[in-house]
Structure 1
Amino acid sequence: MRVSLTSVFVDNQEAALTFYTETLGFVTKVDEPVGEHRWITVVSPEDPDGVQLLLEPAAHPAAPPFREALAADGIPVAQFSVDNVQAEYHRLGALGVKFTQRPTDMGAVMTAVFDDTCGNLIQIIAPTQ
C-alpha cells in the first residue's frame, strides 16, 4: 500500500492552481471539470508519477471551520520536503510568499511554515544532517 493522492481544501481553485504551479513550482497533472468545480491535481516536477496533490474545493460545510481552527492554532495542513529550507524560504519570500514561521532548527530537521494564499498553512522540511 502507498499514498497516491492527498488533498488540501482551497478557497479558489484557479488561484490555488496558479500559486501551486507558478509560485511553488508544481506541475499540473489533471485538470478536468466536475460539475461546478474541477478535479485539479499537481505533482512535483521531480516525481511526475508520484503522489498527486488534489486542490479540493472547500465547499463542504465542515471544511471552513476545520481550516480556520488549524490556521488559528498555527497547524499546517500539509508538509512538503525540500532540499534546503533556508534557500526555499528566501526563494519563496522573494516571490511574495508570507511565512508564519521562519526557518527553525528542530534538531534532526529544519522547518518553516507559509500561508498558501488559499486558506492553508503549509510546512516545508529538510533533514539537518
Structure 2
Amino acid sequence: MRISVTSVFVADQAKALEFYTDVLGFTKRQDIPMGAARWLTVASSDAPDAVELLLEPNANPIASTYQQSLHAAGIPATTFATDDLAKEHERLTALGVRFTQEPVRNGPVSTAVLDDTCGNLIGLHQVH
C-alpha cells in the first residue's frame, strides 16, 4: 500500500491551480471535469510520478469549516519538503508569497509556513 493522492481544500480551483503551478512550481497531472468541479491534481516537477495533490473544492460546509479552522489556528493543511529552505523562501518571497512563519531551524529540521492564497497555510520543511 502507498499514498497516491492527498488533498487540500480550495474555494477556487482555477486560482489554486495557478498558485500551485505558476508560483510553487508543481506540474498539473490530472484535470477531469466532474460536474461543477474538477478532479484536479498537481505533483512535484521533480517527481511527477509521485504523490499527487488534489485541489479539492471546499463547497461542503464541513470542508469549509475544517479549512477555516486550521487557518485560524495557524496549522498548515499539509507540508512539502525542500532540499534548500532558505533558497525556496527567497524565491517565493520574491514572487510575493506571504509567509506566516519565516524559516526557523529546530535541531535537524528547518520549517516555514506560507499562505497559499486559497485558504490554506502550507508548511515547508528541510531535514539537515
CA distance in 2, matches of 1:10, 1:83: 27
CA distance in 1, matches of 2:72, 2:86: 25
Aligned counterpart, 1:110: 110
User: Does residue 92 of the first structure (1) align with residue 89 of the second (2)?
Assistant: no
User: Does residue 125 of the first structure (1) align with residue 125 of the second (2)?
Assistant: yes
CA-atom RMSD, angstroms? 0.7
| 1:8 shift after superposition | 0.3
| 1:96 shift after superposition | 0.5
Aligned partner of residue 62 in structure 1, secondary structure:
helix
Deviation per CA, 1:38-82: give whole Å up to 9, x if none.
Answer: 110001111111100000000111012111111111100100000
| 1:99 shift after superposition | 0.2
Aligned counterpart, 1:10: 10
Q: Percent identity?
A: 52
Aligned counterpart, 2:55: 55
Letter in 2 for 1:100: T
User: Does residue 44 of the first structure (1) align with residue 39 of the second (2)?
Assistant: no
| 1:2 shift after superposition | 0.8
Consecutive unaligned residues of structure 1, counting only runs of 5 or more, are none
Letter in 2 for 1:63: A
| 1:3 shift after superposition | 0.3
CA distance in 2, matches of 1:13, 1:43: 15
CA distance in 2, matches of 1:111, 1:75: 13
Aligned residues: 128
Structure 1 ranges of 4+ moved more than 4 A:
none
Consecutive unaligned residues of structure 2, counting only runs of 5 or more, are none
TM-score (norm 2): 0.98
| 1:108 shift after superposition | 1.3
CA distance in 2, matches of 1:63, 1:40: 17
